[in-house]
Amino acid sequence: MFSRVLIANRGEVALRVLRACADLGVESVVVYSTADAGAKYLEFADDSVCIGPPPAAESYLNVARIIAAAEITNVDAIHPGYGFLAESTEFVEICEDSNIVFIGPRSDVMRKMGNKVEARHIAKDRKIPVLPGSEGAIESDDEAVKLAQEIGYPIIIKAAAGGGGRGMRIAHNEISLRNMLALARSEAEKAFKDDSVYIEKMLDKARHVEVQILADNRGSVIHLGERDCSIQRRYQKLIEETPAPGVSDDTRSAISKAAVQLARAVGYTGAGTVEFLVNGDGRYYFMEMNTRLQVEHPITEVVSGVDIVKEQIKVAAGEKLPYHQKKLAFRGVAIECRVNAENPADGFRSSPGRITEFIPPGGPGVRVDTHVYSGYEVPPFYDSMVAKLIAYGPNRTEALNTMRRALQEFTISGVKTTIPFYRDLIEHRGYASGNFDIRFVDEFLGSV
């Protein structure tokens, strides 16, 4: 096992990894920008290093400063959390060159799966269904138009190097396709320094269902079941749930198998997630793989009893996965609401500032992952998530009751949050029934 791990992230996920290190008896070092100086979670680390000013480019995204922090604190390994450098192949390579273990997949595996076009090829080769679309990056607009005619509109344009909705555009006809291709290329170039895009048929009545994977360095690959992440607004997940409601056991088992197969095919190690779109009729299509820890991992932890971050660290240190697929027992239903410092009444505009009162819910079936507290100042520079609220129940109805109760108890004053929005959303029949798709939030917001 490592003796010291550097956590190259901030806020909630930095604390999440800190806790895993503490639980494993591993020392931890956290980096921070001056905007995060004084945050309470820094006190829980064995050491902390100020790496730069608030802008992420000069701190949490600055590879040189993070590697320098790792060097001066003599760590064995770096945990990237999610976001920032978690999917930067360049960063992983530098870690590898510096003889620091990157807690995640190898750089070559990340490069393969990080390129959406290549990942699509790998999936296709393994007979895992992909959406009808271009074989690779689109060479010319005419090629795209011709293909779109074959597979039918609407068409979704995605950045090959993309993720998080950036460089993503939807076209409903030829004219919009030509316009959107140009826009998507320039967005992709700006975001990823790579303007290649590809197109796929757009399924808009589908669910977003993803499978959690864990793999060690010795050939063992397991899945920890799936999560429904259809409750999204502008490609940002808001509520996640496991097991996915309205997905048949056949589909569940097929996508789990496909995810394991894909991870095995590329020699994946660590924690990863394979995303699928699932149709109303149970047909599924591979979308992409996220080669990192996901925000929503706690719901899987709650039902599986497996601590994903601990296992991620353990396998990175060369340990064998202590779980066998067939012996895993999943228990009940878990739901997560991402509580953001945003004002739902004002277009979800972010609402940074001082939290004057923070009373988290508790008791049975409730887990709260948060780095904030009464008196914490939400900085305006980063992600607006202030807490993850996870509710558990033996079945979906009781899990929802627990979520309702916890949302009711949760008190945050000083900044606006999405708590009132969730209180309303979970009462909506379309949500409560479990019969929703990726367009639910748009429809819900339209109907409010």
Q: Where does 357-427 have alpha helices with state H?
A: 396-409, 419-425
**Helix (H/G/I), strand (E/B), else coil: 83:** coil
| Residues of this chain, 96-135, that bind another protein according to CB under 8 A | 98
d(CA 231, CA 244): 12
Q: How far apart are CA 89 and CA 105, in angstroms?
A: 10
**Which one, 18 or 177, has the nearer CB to another protein?**
18
Residues 341-380 that bind another protein (CB under 8 A): 354, 356-357
Q: Which amino acid belongs to residue 421?
A: F
216, 269 Cβ separation under 8 angstroms: yes
Calpha distance 251→386 (Å, rounded): 34
Residue range at the interface with its own copies (CB under 8 A); choices 19-27, 125-133, 188-196, 421-429: 19-27
Stretch that binds another protein, among 48-56, 209-217, 245-253, 289-297 (CB under 8 A): 48-56
- How many degrees, rounded to 5, is the angle at CA 108 between CA 104 and CA 135? 115
Cis peptide before 154 (omega within 30 of 0): yes
Residue whose C-alpha is closest to residue 445's, from 418, 420, 421, 423: 421
163's tokens: 């993720």
Stretch that binds its own copies, among 87-95, 114-122, 159-167, 354-362 (CB under 8 A): 354-362
- Which residue of 307, 381, 428, 445 would you call a contact of its own copies, by CB under 8 A? 307
Instruction: Report whether 298 contacts 366 (CB < 8 A).
Output: no
Among 305, 318, 380, 420, binds its own copies (CB under 8 A): 305
CB of 58 to another protein, least distance (A): 9
C-alpha 249, offset from chain centre: 24
The nearer residue to another protein, 34 or 401, going by C-beta atoms, is 34
Answer for which of 140, 324, 363, 429 binds its own copies (CB under 8 A) is 363
Task: Give the one entry of another protein, its own copies, none that residue 402 binds, where binding means its C-beta sits below a cut-off of 5 to 8 angstroms depending on kind.
Answer: its own copies
Binding residue for another protein, selected from 18, 51, 137, 403, defined by CB under 8 A: 51
* Cβ contact 414:357 at 8 Å: yes
292 is catalytic: yes
Task: Out of 149, 413, 433, 435, point to the residue binding another protein (CB under 8 A).
Answer: 413
**16, 207, 292, 338: which is the annotated catalytic residue?**
292
Enumerate binding residues for its own copies (CB under 8 A): 15-16, 19-20, 22-25, 40, 44, 298, 301, 305, 307, 309-310, 329, 331-332, 357-360, 362-370, 373-375, 393-394, 398, 401-402, 404-405, 408-409, 411
> Annotated catalytic sites, by residue?
292
